[in-house]
Chains A and B, each alone.
Chain A
Amino acid sequence: QITLKVSGPTVVKPTETLTLTCTFSGFSLSSSGVSVGWIRQPPGKALEWLALIYWDDDKRYNPSLKSRLSITKDTSENQVVLTLTNMDPVDTGTYFCAHSPDTGPYFHFQNWGLGTLVSVSS
């Protein structure tokens, strides 16, 4: 059974850096083809992809947020960490991490964590 859980602060102040950890079980991020992604959702709005890290440490970022994002993995701890700098109230939303078992044309987010609501407020 695959599970993912997001942990981190629920409130951050403007200009601060958000650090979220995705702790997973049931798969290995060292297995070929596997990746973990971060997706966020402002209240009442659509899903927005943020970042993706592959088993071989290849990383991809949403171009509109690339300068503020960083994604890393700790394979031994089964964790993926996302940092988003210079937080703004528009960054308020629920942040999800999700697992993909495939690459190429068959890429899909098969399993999702529950997500955590992050509010940006002074």
Chain B
Amino acid sequence: SSELTQDPAVSVALGQTVRVTCQGDSLRSFYANWYQQKPGQAPVLVMHGENTRPSGIPDRFSGSNSGDTASLTITGALAEDEGDYYCNSRDSSSNHVVFGGGTKLTVL
């Protein structure tokens, strides 16, 4: 099965823009989804499909997909955006599900 690779940690200054990336062969066939997880809580879907935000997710979150790489961009990061971000998609070779290793986002 394929894997999804994420940077372990990313930091951003308050109010600035940050991009979290996810790379994997499955992203050539399937869109990446993005989940935000805060300590002690269940993950929350923040982006899916081509660039679709679920209801209630602020528009400072946006997504993009190109080749084998997907990106989640936060424009004007707030302190409340701190947390772990995971990407996931289908596995193109076996119709399974894969998750990335997660990126810890720190807002400075």
Interface residues of A (CB under 8 A from B): 37, 39, 46-49, 52, 60-63, 96, 104-115
Question: 8 interchain pairs (CB within 8 A)?
Answer: A46-B102, A47-B35, A49-B88, A61-B96, A110-B45, A112-B44, A114-B42, A115-B42
| Interface membership of B21, Cβ < 8 A | no
Interface residues of B (CB under 8 A from A): 1, 29-31, 33, 35, 37, 42-45, 48-49, 54, 86, 88-90, 94-102
Residue of A nearest to B49 (CB): A106
What residues on B are CB-neighbors of A110 within 8 Å? 45, 48, 54
State A57–B88 Cα separation when bound (angstroms): 22
Chain A interface mostly: mixed
Please pick, from A107, A114, A115, the residue contacting B30 in the complex, using a CB distance under 8 A.
A107
